[in-house]
Chains A and B, each alone.
Chain A
Amino acid sequence: MIEFEHVGKRYGGRFEALSNIDFRVRRGEMVFLTGHSGAGKSSLLRLLMRLERPSRGRVLVAGHDIDRLHVSQVPYYRRQIGVVFQDHQLLFDRSVFDNVALPLTIQGMEPHEAARRVRAALDKVGLLYREKALPIELSTGEQQRVGIARAVVNKPALLLADEPTGNLDPQLSTDIMTLFEDFNRIGTTVMVASHDLALITRLRHRILRLREGRLVADEEAA
């Protein structure tokens, strides 16, 4: 599903955020990406979202070199990956329901069908009863779950998460990770960036370790 071929990313002239990253993620796999802050986790995810383009090498998603996508095709590419952000990036001027519906609205899905999908996604993260609430009325953990519902509402084949448990206590973090495992179980390829080593080693999935922009370890699931 994901292939990095000797990828390097340089910002400005000198700073090398990533160098010679080379790995593959199979379809339906669940992978953790770890390392200290500044190790290159976010840069790697930004390459996958095509917010950045590699300075060297190739990034392939589902067999396509995403660097070669035309600007006009990028939005359509992004619609196929679900992304969960650390700061969840919810819009505070609209309800939970409207936030989750946003990707479907962008795609122009028929409202009736969209409502059905939004409710299914909210139900999955256990927040169906809060659909009319504004994000500000929710706890941090709930806001993050709304963010997850928005990422999966479109049934993406690839789910990316950047420090999804960054601001959560251990119990909530475990709940969130369990949610990702559920999505993975029904076939979604999942990649989660997290520096919470204790948590992710307990979960027994493949772990990619980054240090100073290099891939230093690739530990298969135990």
Chain B
Amino acid sequence: MREAQPRHTSMRGARGQRPRKGSQLRAWARHHRAMCRDSATRLIRHPLASLLTMLAIAIALILPAGLWLTLDSARLLDAELDESATLTAYLEQAVGDAEAGRVTEALRAHEGVAEARLITAEAGMREFQESLGLEDALARLENNPLPASVVISPRDTAPEEVEQLAGALEEVSGVDEVRLDLAWLERLRRLAELGQRLVLALGGLFGLGVLLIVGNTIRLSVESRRQEIEVVTLIGATHAFVRRPFLYSGAWYGLGGGLLAWMLLSLGGHWLASPVTALAESYGADYRMPSLDWLGSAVLLFSSTLLGWSGAWVAVNRHLADIRPR
């Protein structure tokens, strides 16, 4: 079949003809699909090299992701600790047992108090003796030096609120002193905050690492496809067209690295789960090994893909500038 060849007499203006909007959009989507497939095929064609790159990305992602998980579970622990934050009101020495009951009622009636439990002087003494093993020494004392006390659980466990409550309860008659030991709780909070910042800093640092890994890989792949880039540029490819396959490669690397990181995190979690639980049980705590939920997994995969894409973007733009057809 021999067909009449180029039939045209006019140049469609040096400004160039662009296809109509609808077909342009379809062509754009078609090229995206083609490049998405093509770049995946290229990765699969060199399975070992691709796997190594993805593994490097995975390792860079695991540290911040693992730290974040640990911190997240520490936050759960923190919430539990909040519930156990209590105040102790020491009653005046002169207050007798009957009066102590009344004072306890008065304390319980306060709006900020969730629960108040009376510990009589004798009960306090018994507990003290048992916990310290000082029965003999204390038995020698003539009078019980311990006052009766009331253990109070506040409704609002925020440190400022608790402190305010303590002040208010000290005004109740019969109460000598209200003690709260929040210093260690405060310290734990500060530690958690430090941890959060550490995770952020590490996340940023290792995210940069992922960018560099992907960037370097894409740079090599741009270099190896230099001739192709020159040719398509010569025959009218736009920058976006040239960039597209590399962006998809970067995204695939990122997604692959994210998946690997997710797998390694799950494996590591399973591996550590039983000793961690056993350790926690020995402290009488019910602590479960943290694992990535759906949202966490989605965030991990999305951010790794995005990092891969951005790394490729930076690398391609840097190197396209160098590649000018000879």
Contact = CB atoms under 8 A, between A and B. Distances in A.
B232 to A, nearest CB: 6
A183 B234 contact: no
A1 B11 contact: yes
Given A62-B14, A73-B16, A152-B6, A78 B235 contact: yes
A89 B125 CA distance: 96
A105 B244 CA distance: 13
Interface string B1-39: 111111111111111111100011011101100000000
Given A120-B5, A187-B6, A102 B231 contact: yes
Contacts of B236: 75-79, 103, 106-107
Nearest to B16: A76
Contacts of B237: 75, 106
Size class of the contact patch on chain B: 35 or more
Contacts of B206: none
Interface string B107-139: 000000000000000000000000000000000
B287 interface: no
B325 A157 contact: no
Interface string A17-50: 0000000000110000000000000000000010
B241 interface: yes
Given A152-B6, A186-B6, A64 B14 contact: yes
Given A102-B232, A103-B236, A106-B232, A51 B5 contact: no
A63 B235 contact: no
A49 B233 CA distance: 11
Nearest to A123: B2
Contact of B11 (A62, A109, A121): A62
Interface centre among A64, A80, A91, A111 (most CB of B within 10 A): A80
B12 A108 contact: no
B227 interface: yes
A51 B17 CA distance: 20
Contacts of A124: 2-3, 5
Interface in B218-242: 227-228, 230-238, 241
Given A155-B6, A183-B5, A108 B24 contact: yes
Interface string A178-190: 0000110011100
Interface in A92-151: 93, 102-103, 105-111, 119-121, 123-124, 150
B232 A61 contact: no
Contact of B31 (A61, A66, A72, A108): A108
B224 to A, nearest CB: 11
A193 interface: no
A120 B3 CA distance: 6
Interface string A47-88: 001010000000001111010010011011111100101000
B8 A187 contact: yes
A183 B26 CA distance: 32
Tell me which of A93, A108, A152, A157 has the highest count of chain B C-beta atoms within 10 A of its own C-beta.
A108
B204 to A, nearest CB: 34
A28 B9 contact: yes
A80 B11 contact: yes
Contacts of B2: 123-124
A105 B234 CA distance: 14
8 shortest A-B CB distances, which residue pairs? Answer: A108-B27, A76-B16, A64-B14, A79-B236, A62-B11, A78-B236, A155-B6, A157-B11
13 contacts: A62-B14, A64-B13, A73-B16, A75-B233, A75-B238, A83-B234, A89-B231, A89-B234, A102-B232, A108-B28, A124-B5, A183-B5, A186-B4
Interface of B: 1-19, 23-24, 26-28, 30-31, 227-228, 230-238, 241, 324-325
Given A111-B30, A152-B6, 18 more contacts: A27-B9, A51-B234, A61-B11, A62-B11, A63-B14, A79-B16, A79-B236, A91-B227, A106-B235, A106-B237, A108-B23, A108-B26, A110-B26, A120-B3, A155-B8, A157-B8, A183-B5, A187-B6
